[in-house]
Amino acid sequence: MKQGLGKFTFSIPDGHPQAGEKLEKPFEYQVCETEAEATGVIAEKKWNVTAMVNDTLKANARSNAYQAALLPYRPSEVSPADIAERMVRDFIRLGVPEAAARAQVSALTANIGNTAKDVVDTDTGAPSTV
């Protein structure tokens, strides 16, 4: 087996004089290069292959569920004004007149802090007046 070297980063918890400071710590681990080495480690540690696979499957499923649950709360890389403008374009592609599309998007976004002034006219670059 060969030795692997990894590192992890963590923030010092609140209540400590260095709270918030990020630290990086190295660690070493063994890497099996052959099936025989892996089998030897499993036998030496008295591990159960089925349990190991089930633990890994559970960890992967938990990680996927965690990421999926966080997705709606992550900030978008697209600005609200760009999203609104895309909505206007999509309405226009559906055959809705531009003025009606801008009015609809303004009404939809009014309750989330995006007002009609956030929807700009693509021809003039000026805020929409609808």
Question: Which residues of the chain have a pLDDT value below 70?
Answer: 113-130
- Residue 41 in domain: no
SS3 string, 4-65, reads EEEEEEEECCCCCCCCCCEEEEEEEEEECCCHHHHHHHHHHHCCCHHHHHHHHHHHHHHHHH
* Predicted pLDDT of residue 15: 86
69 C-beta neighbours (distance < 10 Å), count = 9
User: Is residue 56 a part of any domain in this protein?
Assistant: no
Q: Is residue 69 part of a domain?
A: no
What pLDDT sits at residue 73?
A: 81
Domain membership of residue 74 (yes or no) is no
**Tally of domains within the chain:** 1
Q: What is the pLDDT of residue 121?
A: 59
Q: For residue 113, what are the domain limits?
A: 80-118
Q: pLDDT value at position 7? A: 93
pLDDT given for residue 90 in this prediction: 96
**What is the pLDDT at residue 70?**
87
pLDDT tens readout for residues 71-99: 888 888 888 889 999 999 999 999 999 99
Q: Is residue 90 part of a domain?
A: yes
pTM of the model: 0.42
Q: Is residue 107 part of a domain?
A: yes
Asked whether residue 26 is domain-assigned, the answer is no
112 within domain boundaries: yes
pLDDT at 114: 45
